Structure 1
Amino acid sequence: MASQQPRFGVVTDPEILKRLAEYRGVWVYAEVDDNQLTNVSLELLAAARYVAQKTKEDVSAVLVGYGIERFARDLIVHGADRVYLIQDEKLKLYVSDAYTEAVSQLVLAKKPSIFLFGANRNARDLASRVAGRVNTGLAADCIQLEVNENGQLEQIRPDFGGKELSVVLTPKHRPQLTTIRPGSYKPLPADYNRSGIVESFEPRLAEQHSRIKVIKSVRERLDPKEDLEKAKVIVAGGMGLRNKDNFKLLHQLAELFEGGAVAGTRSVCEKGWLPHHLQVGQSGKTVSPKLYFAVGLSGAIQHLVGMQNSEVIVAINIDKEAPIFKVCTYGIVGDLFEVVPLLIDEIKRVRIERTLTKESVKAESAGER
């Protein structure tokens, strides 16, 4: 009779279990960029509250920088029970060495069970360095978090070009470190009745922790119409558009909405029909707008992982078997070159009718006076 193999991730060693029990709390790294609290910081708080509800732990935000205490209240009203405030003039701008040392000292002192970072440029760098410093693992670019029956964090991320989803566990080390793609979670509504604790932490930063000096920071300013992470409405096109010029049709549709933006699939951007910063999907942006038009795109898993959290998805495709129809809210089977112009005309007509109705009501009210 074959011996039973131990189930992966199950820890039975009493010494390891004793050490793991010392770690409590769900943390998020709250990032300040361009003198603003990043939106992904609020998304992480939503993820942390979901996880903490299952693990029965408190949620803390780690705020690092200089002159940033004013952001602590924003973090509390969006879900933090506690804010660890790390301030030092050496931390005024992001520098890997100094930030790694400061955050690692806090982790070693307070011992959180889970620590979430945004999967953006600086936070990715910081998360990997902190993981190495505190001797734990890191699951990168996750899109979903769950808690299994053993109380372990299931860190879910796309693999093999987005064709599969993998579940990553950190069974024997703490904290469980994760970077989460922006747009994977939606921020919780602000609750101004919430109260929380702001606790200052003073790291010991020596000269060797500031070997890199930032002389000047130059920021590329995106056109607001191209900021996909903030767009309320996104009109995304695929290879069904046939060529670059046909994307003018999608721009016409996007312009009908305040906060509308145009995006594309990986194939579209690789062909140069749209710039790469407008790519949605596994190797592009993760977005969660109120309304997402998927026009002439099949809905491959690589694209779906980047937009499946949209509130409403409208799919337009000539192929009724296209995978996009399995995830959309509304689906239109038809030629996009016929459907989209009709959609544009109908939206314009409805808006004109509404305007005329409002003007008529105003005129009647004025006449009654």
Structure 2
Amino acid sequence: MTAGLETFAKVRALHDRATIPGEKASAAARMKTLARKAGMSVEQAVSKLDAPKPKTQAQAAANAFSDFFHTPEMRAQRAEREAVRLEKTRELLKRYANEEAVFADTKREAALRMACEPLVVWDTRPDWKGFYAFAGWTDHGGKDSMPTAVREAVMSGWPWPETVAAAWSEYEAAEALDDDRCAFEPGYTPHRWVEARRYALEEVLDTQPAKSLNDLRARMSWLEHLRSLECQWTHDNDAVRLATLRADIERMGARLRDQDAEAVQSGHGAGQASCEPPAEGITISVTPLRSPISGTSNAPVQFGHRHRTNADKRRDVLALLNAEDSGIALTDREIARRAGVSPTTVGTIRRSLA
């Protein structure tokens, strides 16, 4: 009947357009014939043709979303968020001279812009102001597609952080600035050279070994930040992050044991051993174990100056090798750097698993 209705619709359109009585009558007779062949009257065929078409699944979903988005509750939530945003802009203007100052390049952003300028080709079309090509890196390109030239430019354009703590400090400041700008322009996105620098910092926060408790605290803050994001944080690098954190903890634990042993041997007692260099200004006191019955201190164990054993090293390497099962490809040299062993050791352990 679908083909018959299509023909009926064409004849009906011809009938409605016709101005000559003979043509109109001929079209009406043709409509009657087509309707009779379909087992309907002309009125029934017209009614079926004019009936609302069923919605597609996508249309139904879109309509349902639109209905939900415009409920009184959702409108009230949007109004509340807008009030919070406006209040934040008023507070920010107490710190910034004006709105233009909020979006002005910081010294860091200006340096990155200058370093990346040779890689930027601005679009000169009148209606495309602000669009540019960036060494072949598109707006939708993530860190995995970032060109080497871009990576090198943003890493050299501004002093590169030498520690995890320094990387987190820079990253956190950039995030705070983005939040300020989003208060004035909710759809704000930073320039791609700023995003590229952010991606490079994320790699440090994910993989660079912690050298101090400050670094370890920064890494924990980074993981807490990822967990607090409103959107689901990606799991692609979770195996690498956890392996890096485990290696950090093992190194800190070994340092605590080493310094505790040194304190015992020197006669100063285990309770005053510091796990942080004096320059850091951070001291962790290790309280001697006490008997749950008598409350007296247990005798310290004279285990001497402990270094990482081969089992410790193998465990760290295996943790990083296991990350490859999640699709994280790491070279032997990269695994060696993170685990604190030689590439030869990594190769030996890798071959033993084959």
User: Who wins on radius of gyration, i.e. which is larger?
Assistant: 2
Same fold, TM-score > 0.5, yes or no: no
Where relative contact order (Cα < 8 A, 6+ residues apart) is larger, the structure is 1
Task: Tell me which interval the TM-score lies in, with the shorter structure as reference length.
Answer: under 0.3
More strand by share: 1
**TM-score normalised to structure 2 length:** 0.20
